[in-house]
A and B are shown apart, each in its own frame.
Chain A
Amino acid sequence: MSRRAHISQKIAFSLLFLSTVFVVIPVVAILVFIVKNGVGAISWEFLTSYPRAGMKQGGIFPAIVGTFYLVFGAIAVSLPIGVLAAIYLNEYAKDTLLTRTIKLAIVNLAGVPSVVYGLFGLGLFVVFLKFGTSIVAGSLTLAIMGLPVIITTSKEALSSVPKQFREVSLSLGATRWQTVRHVVLPNAISGILTGAILSIARAAGEAAPILFTVAAFYLPKLPRSVFDQAMALPYHLYIISTQIPNISKQTQYGTALVLVGLVFILNLVAIVIRSRFRKKKKW
């Protein structure tokens, strides 16, 4: 190896390393920054009381509750459809024009901007189906947005189940569906769960799709039916950081911390499930 080549390799490798650090350091910095500034705001009262005095005092309870409603409404719709769609693609579909169209549609659903989902939810659920600005409209919008993630991760989980498992089951006289139900699905369940949790985490942090479909600036009481509006954490953070002058920094950081904490805990759970699944893999 010539000296020059050696030196340029050293320089190049250092640059590659620095670039990687440049990506990862801000993540750590952002986390530390939010935790350091926000942890002072977190108290039982902050988590369980209503905003007061034009959002400047009090807590974020209704926003937390609203986000839970929205997210669970969304996953209740998108998980069954997504898993069934993945089963179709992985276990039933042949390489036809229809299958390729479905795959292209999934790629495009994944690429549609979140605010366009918001417009779609407004046009279809709020106006056309007359649900009004409501939890059901917001949940359905978030559900459709979450579908590509669930389909892709579930399909990956299904396709990692070895072919021989299916062949043995089929050769013992089981039908296609029995094979899927009793052999393939149980072996893919951790992967599917991981995808579902990641999709919940993503839905919990999205503000754009719920802007016009459900989000309320302020509500004096909790929603009582799925046709009520709701407050939501990401939208609340947006409101208090842009629309309300002279609000205390601590309230803003505290809200950001709760949101990030929620999303990160969900992600951690997904990562743990995935790594345990990899270790336990029997094939």
Chain B
Amino acid sequence: MDRTLRRTKEFIVEGLIFLSGITSILFVVLIFVFLLKEGLSLFKEYPAGQFLFGTGWYPISEPPRFGIVPLVCGSLIVTVGAIMIAVPVSVAAALYISELAPVKIKDFLKAGIEMLAAIPSVVLGFIGMVTLVPFVRSFFHIPTGLTALSGSIMLAFMAMPTIITIAEDAINAVPKPYKEGALALGATRWQMMYKIVLVAASPGIIAAIMLGIGRVIGETMAVMMITGNSAVIPHSFLQPVRTMTATIASEMGETVYGSEHYFALFALGIVLFIITFIINFIADLFLHRKKI
């Protein structure tokens, strides 16, 4: 009796464990299904071609236009800028932390980077508004500091913790004999680092960069607060832009449930979901290639 009771209990517990195990799949599917369910309703009345390739996003004009090209370009320019700043700095910092820093300083630096990752994006957005935005405005003598450049700089700092942490793991995973071999052949430490360590760690570093891109493209609050929210196709970094994320976040509150605008924002969510899905998938491929 006691034994059957225990068996039943274990059967239930292990059932729960299995169910919890597969919830992640369930949630990914649910997210995709609900985005599709709401988003695809747009295309009953609005042609998909005009949505994907339209160059005007005027959701409340008559008739409304939902062309996402300016928003995609906005996300793109901000992301490119942020990655251009974040990648060299992050890879250099990862090299320093894993190869050069003394143990005590290393712990301090890692704690600092964890803190940077922990600052909520709305706080970074606020800090950007009160410090970076006025600075960019007066430095470049432009009418507003709410520009793609400001967004890129702020986002670079949000991407750095991700890139540094994963790149550092990759650098640490380079086998010691590789390094010793290089040094034994007469390479300086720096030659060893950039000719051996960086090359051997490159799949992991690429994964780190991909995840950094994913982080930046999906970032919402800071971007919405400091890029100026103007849905035009940008021609320079010193122009206000509007990203896909900021569009969803700032417009969803004003839409009526079931309206074309509401569906259009979900459709934009699908585009965003697919982009980040692909980026993460590629990053995952590189991460697993590393462990040969």
For B27, give its contact among A9, A80, A109, A115 (CB under 8 Å).
A109
Query: In this assembly, does B61 line the interface, its C-beta being within 8 Å of a C-beta of chain A?
Result: no
Query: In this assembly, does A85 line the interface, its C-beta being within 8 Å of a C-beta of chain B?
Result: yes
Q: Is A102 touching B24 in the complex (CB atoms < 8 A)?
A: yes
Q: How far is the CB of B19 from chain A (nearest CB, A)?
A: 8
Q: What string of 1s and 0s marks CB contacts (under 8 Å) between A153-169 and chain B?
A: 00000000000000000
A16 and B188 CA atoms in complex are apart in Å by: 16
Q: Is B93 touching A177 in the complex (CB atoms < 8 A)?
A: no
Residue of A nearest to B266 (CB): A119
Query: In this assembly, does B235 line the interface, its C-beta being within 8 Å of a C-beta of chain A?
Result: no
Residue of B nearest to A4 (CB): B188
Q: How far is the CB of A8 from chain B (nearest CB, A)?
A: 7
Q: Is B92 touching A238 in the complex (CB atoms < 8 A)?
A: no
Query: In this assembly, does B147 line the interface, its C-beta being within 8 Å of a C-beta of chain A?
Result: no
Residue of A nearest to B16 (CB): A84
Most chain B beta carbons < 10 A, residue from A19, A98, A259: A19
How many A residues have CB within 8 A of the partner chain?
A: 88
Q: Is A111 touching B277 in the complex (CB atoms < 8 A)?
A: yes
A235 and B122 CA atoms in complex are apart in Å by: 8
Q: Is A13 touching B190 in the complex (CB atoms < 8 A)?
A: yes
Q: Is A17 touching B25 in the complex (CB atoms < 8 A)?
A: no
Q: Is B27 touching A23 in the complex (CB atoms < 8 A)?
A: no
Q: Is B273 touching A124 in the complex (CB atoms < 8 A)?
A: no
Contact partners of A172 in chain B: CB under 8 A:
none
Q: How far is the CB of A181 from chain B (nearest CB, A)?
A: 8
A24 and B74 CA atoms in complex are apart in Å by: 28
Q: Is A263 touching B113 in the complex (CB atoms < 8 A)?
A: no
Contact partners of A80 in chain B: CB under 8 A:
20
Q: Is B218 touching A111 in the complex (CB atoms < 8 A)?
A: yes
Query: In this assembly, does A211 line the interface, its C-beta being within 8 Å of a C-beta of chain B?
Result: yes
How many B residues have CB within 8 A of the partner chain?
A: 87
Most chain A beta carbons < 10 A, residue from B120, B121, B218: B120
A231 and B88 CA atoms in complex are apart in Å by: 40
Q: How far is the CB of B90 from chain A (nearest CB, A)?
A: 7
Chain A residues numbered 1-33 whose CB sits less than 8 Å from any CB in chain B: 1, 5-6, 8-9, 12-13, 15-17, 19-20, 22-24, 26-28, 30-31, 33
A42 and B124 CA atoms in complex are apart in Å by: 20
With A5-B188, A105-B24 already in contact, the answer to whether A27 and B120 are too (CB < 8 A) is no
A120 and B39 CA atoms in complex are apart in Å by: 11
Residue of B nearest to A125 (CB): B34
Q: Is A241 touching B225 in the complex (CB atoms < 8 A)?
A: yes
For A259, give its contact among B95, B123, B131 (CB under 8 Å).
B123
A80 and B284 CA atoms in complex are apart in Å by: 26
Contact partners of A241 in chain B: CB under 8 A:
125-126, 129, 225
Q: Is B225 touching A242 in the complex (CB atoms < 8 A)?
A: yes
Contact partners of B211 in chain A: CB under 8 A:
111
Query: In this assembly, does A116 line the interface, its C-beta being within 8 Å of a C-beta of chain B?
Result: yes
Contact partners of B109 in chain A: CB under 8 A:
20, 24
Given contacts A13-B190, A116-B218, 13 further A-B contacts (CB under 8 A): A23-B160, A26-B116, A30-B119, A104-B284, A112-B31, A113-B217, A113-B273, A119-B252, A120-B31, A124-B30, A148-B24, A208-B245, A256-B123
Interface residues of A (CB under 8 A from B): 1, 5-6, 8-9, 12-13, 15-17, 19-20, 22-24, 26-28, 30-31, 33-34, 80-82, 84-85, 87-89, 92-93, 98, 101-102, 104-120, 122-124, 127-128, 144, 147-148, 151, 175-177, 201-202, 204-208, 211-212, 234-235, 237-238, 241-242, 249, 252, 256, 259-260, 263-264, 267, 271
The 9 closest A-B CB pairs, nearest first, are A113-B218, A205-B120, A88-B21, A84-B20, A19-B92, A111-B280, A9-B190, A123-B34, A16-B96
17 contacts between A and B (CB under 8 A): A9-B191, A19-B96, A28-B112, A34-B127, A92-B18, A108-B276, A111-B280, A123-B34, A144-B27, A205-B118, A207-B221, A208-B121, A212-B252, A234-B221, A242-B129, A252-B126, A264-B118
Interface residues of B (CB under 8 A from A): 10, 13-14, 16-25, 27-28, 30-31, 34-35, 37-38, 88-90, 92-93, 95-97, 100-101, 109, 111-116, 118-127, 129-131, 157, 160, 164, 186, 188-191, 193-194, 211, 214, 217-221, 225, 245, 248-249, 252-253, 257, 265-266, 269, 272-273, 276-277, 279-281, 283-284
